[in-house]
């Protein structure tokens, strides 16, 4: 029997409806949730991402302000602007779109954002809160992946989860979130000698390496939950993930498609984080 699809599009619609309801309540109470988005330079992909985020805010009642700056903006001026947004009570979330021009240190910029407004969850302090199990904002992509796993109704507690990838934005926080949910977690990466050995034992696999066909049917335990974070192109130029979807869907119990899987959830969790910041959570 083919795996059941975990539709990020459908789950996003449900979550965004809840965001819109709560945002309307905040607005009626005089505290409209606000997200400040900063775009430096003219990177085409960044412009698309920012446009999608601003539209998602408008659709759910979150007030977004987009600030565009030339690629020549100095690091010092950017840090001054972030400090002003940190002090602005009408701004509940700050997002600086990556990548930044080469003369600006992204780590310095991210860590300049107040932890209480770090709705991307990328700062060192946010990462520390996650590792320590403290409340805080979780990076949007792994946060969305957790919501997708939870949507299956399969308890995470006691399951063996394998995360393929160790990036600071997805792999590492994904492993920590699964660990907090009482899964037994294995992290695999480019230096893992026998990836299939680990994935065949996994009840949950999260593939996040950016390389198509990283996970094939012979590497999957029957009935496993497979979350595909990858975003690649096949030989025909079509979007595909890290998972050989055609083969794995006949083995897995649950699987996310690409497109329409993890992608929509990333922006949705940005909205959720911004809303919760406005709510004071």
Catalogue the active-site residues.
53, 97, 120
Radius of gyration of the chain measured on its C-alpha atoms? 19
Count Cβ atoms below 10 Å from residue 257 Cβ, excluding itself: 20
C-alpha–C-alpha distance, residues 95 and 121, integer Å: 10
Tell me if residue 225 falls in helix, strand or coil: strand
Cα atoms in the 13 Å half-sphere on the side-chain side of 25: 10
| DSSP assignment string, 243-275 | B-HHHHTTT-SEE--SSSSHHHHHHHHHHHHHH
9's CB contacts (< 8 A; 6+ apart) are 260, 264
Number of alpha carbons in the 13 Å side-chain half-sphere of residue 78: 30
Strands 239-240 and 225-228: unpaired
Question: What gap in Å lies between CA 271 and CA 52, rounded to an integer?
Answer: 12
| Helix boundaries (H) for the chain | 8-28, 44-60, 75-86, 106-112, 124-132, 140-151, 171-180, 195-199, 245-248, 262-278
| Cβ atoms < 10 Å from Cβ of 260 | 16
Q: How far apart are CA 248 and CA 133, in angstroms?
A: 33
């Amino acid at each position: 029997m083919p795996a059941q699809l975990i539709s990020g599009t459908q789950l996003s619609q449900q979550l965004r409806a809840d965001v819109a309801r709560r945002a309307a309540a905040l607005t009626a109470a005089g505290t409209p949730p606000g997200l400040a988005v900063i775009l430096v330079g003219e990177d085409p992909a960044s412009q698309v991402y920012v446009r999608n985020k601003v539209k998602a805010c408008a659709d759910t009642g979150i007030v977004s302000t987009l600030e565009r700056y030339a690629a020549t903006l100095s690091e010092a001026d950017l840090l001054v602007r972030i400090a002003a947004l940190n002090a602005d009570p009408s701004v509940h979330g700050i997002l600086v779109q990556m990548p930044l021009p080469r003369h600006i240190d992204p780590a310095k910029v991210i860590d300049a954002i107040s932890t209480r407004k770090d709705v991307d969850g990328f700062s060192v302090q946010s990462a520390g809160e996650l590792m320590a199990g403290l409340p805080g904002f979780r990076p949007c992509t792994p946060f969305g992946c957790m919501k997708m796993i939870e949507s299956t109704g399969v308890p995470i507690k006691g399951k063996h989860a394998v995360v393929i990838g160790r990036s600071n934005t997805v792999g590492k926080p994904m492993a920590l979130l699964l660990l907090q949910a009482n899964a037994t977690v294995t992290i695999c990466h480019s230096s893992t000698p026998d990836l299939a050995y680990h994935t065949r034992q996994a009840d949950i696999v999260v593939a996040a390496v950016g390389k198509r066909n990283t996970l094939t049917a012979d590497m999957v335990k029957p009935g496993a939950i497979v979350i595909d974070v990858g975003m690649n192109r096949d030989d025909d130029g079509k979007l595909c993930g890290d998972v050989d979807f055609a083969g794995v869907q006949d083995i897995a119990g649950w699987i996310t498609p690409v497109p329409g899987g993890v992608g929509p959830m990333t922006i949705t969790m940005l909205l959720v984080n911004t809303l919760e910041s406005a709510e004071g959570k």
